[in-house]
Structure 1
């Protein structure tokens, strides 16, 4: 937790208290994050770390028209540093924000890890390091980055449960399911509204195909998480996914309309939830109607942000599904241009190249060119994790590859992919259905 003995340059005691509450609100996905930050500024309009946090929140919005305001907030933090001075930790936080505003995600992750090396109880740095590891596809650091700081925390510390839930998710993403579930449940014992703890256990249930347990887990805790911020939609996505895997397709469509879709939201995570679920519903034979058009209307003005490769891929899929061919082609061209402009032999270059191949395959899939889609996606299948996202989220791209192989009549490839999938998820309904379909035609 970012708390004394950490020094906040020139900030009043009330401002520090309010800032700490803002960090806890952020870690807890609470709706009062904005109110907490406003209270911080009311106590001290020139608090350096408050300006940094304001800039981070603008970045999280991922709206092209708003992103420049993150740089404005960084400038305000730099001015505060000139007027009041700044600690080494505060300067590192400014550097982390600066890296993110320039799209240097790997650099941002390294900066926040360097903060944690000196200040392992800095909850804000821990959350941000974890966030960037997630979107850089670094699942090992999702786990190990938390494991390194956990010995420095105690149960009575504010935010300790959030550290446990971060650890639980990192363990899950590294297939350490039993330990992940123990830590996730321990976090919920501390705070039943810990959305990330709920989320971590839901992931375990998903990856182990314990669908009824997953449904019951999410339903039991719904009164606690359904009043949180937009992250509640992602928990509804997990609940819908469990119902989908249980074969309850019409219930999922109703859940989409009632609980996932928010006509007013332009949050990128909300949109990736929606896009992913509609595609999965179509694979289940459900007619989704005009819902693709509604999503495409939202995606179009946001796609210029080029925020995360993982998000870009979903946006390409949505535009193609809605028949917005010109816009989908334009986004793919922008992705390819980014790949060409990225210095070779860097992590970013590999990510850009993988994303270009994946997005080309997604366009081919939606246009009915299934063999072409397998040619694009197949060679990069083992690198798609570099785009970020979780195993459960990225599984959509694997399902698309399998479906394209089946539709292209590439039965050997389809069998190979399905055998690979059932080795880790032998009880998965989707795999079983495709294997039965393959057996009937091959």
Structure 2
């Protein structure tokens, strides 16, 4: 493992971001971990993120920021709940204890506080603390990226954009990881519908760093949101060699590629991507982004009338162990798709009841608050839809259509719920719902002209209602 090119104690001090450790090795490994997080890539020559973290803990077992990044990364991955996972809960406690026992800087203390708040599900407060750090230290990429993840999980679209916009003037092109700010900023821009500007930023990022998978991902979103299907397909294919190396984002970029095929009604091509990339990768990585993409793909295909056969059952093995996690509502809704798709009624009921229970007394857990305002009803709507009770599904979903953003994720990911409402409305026996379905399609068409999916649904509505 050669980390010699990364920043040592002195280099971090020179950037105004001193780290409380005397170990140069620990500082370099911290930088190596941060770099892989920003690039969405486990660099095997460094031993990947896990290898760097364990080497960093060996180099200085009491290095507070080492604990912040390792525990923080596990928390923002949302793959396990500190509520249930005692090992993760004790890692949070250990981080707090180490910080209290040492004379660390105010910035490092705030980092610890943010991680602790995030572990309790208090995402808004955690993000406020990360912003507090950025006010004095705008080049603290860890604070910026953790905040970005927090905003993403809250569906806080304006903040996704503005958090990056605020720090941009303080960054100079010679600084490490500078080019990756472009993709971050681009993503916030496209989630607030500034598609042209988002495209410009992402392409600038790619001209500096062609393998920046997050900038590629931003371009994929722009084409998706504008229903520029052929442009999207061409772009993903022409850049595949560049973005494939980002193991943490490759599956998600393949998912975007598959969305274009689904949009065109080319279901076989989409299923091929599912089988050879999305499912294969999610099974191997166990990463939450990979898992929810697999869930989302199968549910979208089934809504379109495609038979996905025993794929639900295979995916259930991956999602079922997460039934009681309830880390984010977004994840829960995706797990529910699988138990419904696999006709695993008991697992579906257990997930819903667990979520209802937590929503009763959410405390300061923002996700459990969202479960009460949005999550439980969307779960119920999906269950009704699965049972063929389409009018009940519409009654539950329609009032929430402008609140679904609160479950987090991106517009492209949440589009599944818009599609669900449309499918339920046009299949409902209520003529008012059918009319509503047609209205929603007109509205969809005006927002994304040239969408083959919208046209297919319009034809379906006409066929059903005449």
Q: Structure 1 length normalisation: TM-score? A: 0.95
CA contact (8 A) 1:146 1:167 kept: yes
Are 2:97 and 1:62 equivalent residues in the alignment? no
Q: Deviations over 1:313-332 (max 9, x none)?
A: 11112111111111101111
Q: Distance in 1 between matches of 2:56 and 2:253?
A: 30
- In structure 2, the partner of 1:40 is 56
CA contact (8 A) 2:323 2:332 kept: yes
Q: Distance in 1 between matches of 2:98 and 2:358?
A: 35
- In structure 2, the partner of 1:333 is 353
Q: 1:53 is paired with a residue of what secondary structure?
A: helix
Deviation at residue 76 of structure 1 after TM alignment: 3.2
Aligned pairs (5 A) from 1:143-154: 143-154=161-172
Pick aligned residue for 2:35 from 3, 14, 24: 24
Aligned length: 442
Q: 2:319 is paired with a residue of what secondary structure?
A: helix
Q: 1:286 is paired with a residue of what secondary structure?
A: coil
Deviation at residue 82 of structure 1 after TM alignment: 4.3
- In structure 1, the partner of 2:376 is 356
Q: 2:401 is paired with a residue of what secondary structure?
A: helix
- In structure 2, the partner of 1:53 is 69
Pick aligned residue for 2:332 from 312, 321, 337: 312
Are 2:417 and 1:397 equivalent residues in the alignment? yes
Deviation at residue 343 of structure 1 after TM alignment: 5.5
Pick aligned residue for 1:413 from 436, 449, 455: 436
CA contact (8 A) 2:355 2:368 kept: no
Deviation at residue 298 of structure 1 after TM alignment: 1.8
Are 2:177 and 1:159 equivalent residues in the alignment? yes
Return 13-22 or 353-362, whichever deviates more.
13-22
Return 47-56 or 60-69, whichever deviates more.
60-69
- In structure 1, the partner of 2:4 is none
Pick aligned residue for 1:226 from 226, 244, 249: 244
Pick aligned residue for 1:87 from 101, 105, 109: 105
Q: Distance in 2 between matches of 1:187 and 1:35?
A: 28
Deviation at residue 356 of structure 1 after TM alignment: 0.8
Closer, same or farther in 2 for the Cα pair 1:67/1:163, shift >3 Å? farther
Deviation at residue 351 of structure 1 after TM alignment: 4.9
Instruction: Report the RMSD for the aligned CA atoms in angstroms.
Output: 2.1
Q: Deviations over 1:184-206 (max 9, x none)?
A: 11111121121111111100010
Q: Distance in 2 between matches of 1:250 and 1:128?
A: 37
Are 2:389 and 1:369 equivalent residues in the alignment? yes
Q: Distance in 1 between matches of 2:440 and 2:65?
A: 48
Return 48-57 or 347-356, whichever deviates more.
347-356
- In structure 2, the partner of 1:436 is 459
Q: Distance in 2 between matches of 1:265 and 1:367?
A: 32
Deviation at residue 283 of structure 1 after TM alignment: 2.8
- In structure 2, the partner of 1:11 is 22
CA contact (8 A) 2:202 2:216 kept: yes
Are 2:88 and 1:77 equivalent residues in the alignment? no
Which consecutive unaligned segments of at least 5 residues does structure 1 have?
Answer: none
Q: Distance in 2 between matches of 1:237 and 1:174?
A: 22
CA contact (8 A) 1:249 1:284 kept: no
Deviation at residue 64 of structure 1 after TM alignment: 4.9
- In structure 2, the partner of 1:129 is 147
Deviation at residue 426 of structure 1 after TM alignment: 1.6
Deviation at residue 104 of structure 1 after TM alignment: 1.2
Are 2:231 and 1:207 equivalent residues in the alignment? no
Q: Distance in 1 between matches of 2:18 and 2:363?
A: 39
CA contact (8 A) 1:58 1:69 kept: no
CA contact (8 A) 1:71 1:98 kept: no
Deviation at residue 179 of structure 1 after TM alignment: 0.5
CA contact (8 A) 2:190 2:218 kept: yes
Deviation at residue 13 of structure 1 after TM alignment: 2.5
Q: 2:268 is paired with a residue of what secondary structure?
A: helix
Aligned pairs (5 A) from 1:183-262: 183-262=201-280
Pick aligned residue for 2:301 from 272, 278, 281: 281
Return 236-245 or 431-440, whichever deviates more.
431-440
- Moved >6 Å (runs of 4+): none
Q: Deviations over 1:365-385 (max 9, x none)?
A: 111111111111111111000
Q: Structure 2 length normalisation: TM-score? A: 0.90
